[in-house]
Amino acid sequence: MNHYTTALRVYLTALLGTHRARFAQARERGDAGASAVELAIITAVILAVAVGLLAVIRIFVQDQSSQIHG
């Protein structure tokens, strides 16, 4: 299970890093108004979906594991 947690952490770190870089560029251009808010909302939604998916997969794997091992 540690592999999935590590892979998710790497993915989310890359995703958030990309969004952070875009936000920094927008701030330098002086265009950090609505686009920054939209970017923050999109990032939060993506993060929530990823965490929810991780929880569903983890529950599924644990159920299947308990059925296999009896």
Q: Inform me whether the pLDDT recorded for 33 exceeds 70.
A: no
- pLDDT class of 51 with cuts at 50, 70, 90: very high
For residues 30-47, give the mean pLDDT: 79
How many angstroms separate the first and last alpha carbons of the chain? 19
Instruction: Report the domain count for the chain.
Output: 1
The whole-angstrom separation of Cα 35 and Cα 63 is 42
> What pTM did the predictor assign?
0.50
Q: Which long-range contacts (CB under 8 A, 24 or more apart) does 42-51 make?
A: 43/15, 43/16, 43/19, 46/15, 47/12, 47/16, 50/8, 50/11, 50/12
What is the pLDDT, as a whole number, of residue 4?
62
Residue 65 domain boundaries: 2-69
Q: Is the pLDDT of residue 19 over 90?
A: no
Q: What is the mean pLDDT of residues 38-48?
A: 89
Residue in the block written with tokens 């958030």? 16
